Amino acid sequence: MKYYLISLLFCFSCLLVQGQKVAVKTNLLYDVTTTMNAGAEVGLGYRWTLDVSGNYNPWKFGQYRLKHWMVQPEGRYWFCEKFNGHFLGVHGFYANYNVGGLFFNDNMRNYRYQGSLYGGGISYGYQWVVSDRWSLEMTVGAGYARLKDDKYPCTGCGTNIRTKERNYWGPTKAGLTLLYFLK
């Protein structure tokens, strides 16, 4: 899967690079969770862009574990012009995860979950132009995910309690993203 992401980023670099055509980006919300992330967004027309981002978190801090990787492409329609103002998006995603010891609820605090998920949804966002080369973007999205994982009795144990598949409807995307435009 990492070769797929590298291939997509290479394809973006082969496009004609002009102002407001290609942006590289990082989601500051992921940075807060120690998740390394990077993305690229390419202008496809006056009001259309394609955004592809990837995330990776290899860390384990004591019993706290939020290991995962994810790729998330999104097509965007801009109401004014690309890379400026309001937009609507349609996104998809695929991820592998190994999480546990988290404070969200008793299940996440006392058990570890290891598996994969895929899905998609719709998003809304707004982008503020800061300068010729810099912008700040806010994005929220909701949709569907299909999860398949194994449950373990503690964050460090290796004995599988169960394997389960389930459906999820709810938030699927959140971002406060810093963009840099290539010229």
Q: So where are the chain's domains?
A: 2-181
Q: Can you give the pTM of this predicted structure? A: 0.81
Query: Per the structure block, which two tokens stand in for 4?
Result: 């797929």
- What is the per-residue pLDDT across 32-68, written as a single tens digit (0 to 9) for each? 989 999 999 999 999 999 999 999 999 888 777 889 9
Query: Of 54, 167, 177, 151, whose CA–CA distance to 119 is shortest?
Result: 167
Report, at the CATH architecture level, how domain 2-181 is classified: Beta Barrel (2.40)
CB 35 within 8 A of CB 26: no
- What is the per-residue pLDDT across 65-105, written as a single tens digit (0 to 9) for each? 889 999 999 999 999 999 999 999 999 999 999 988 777 78
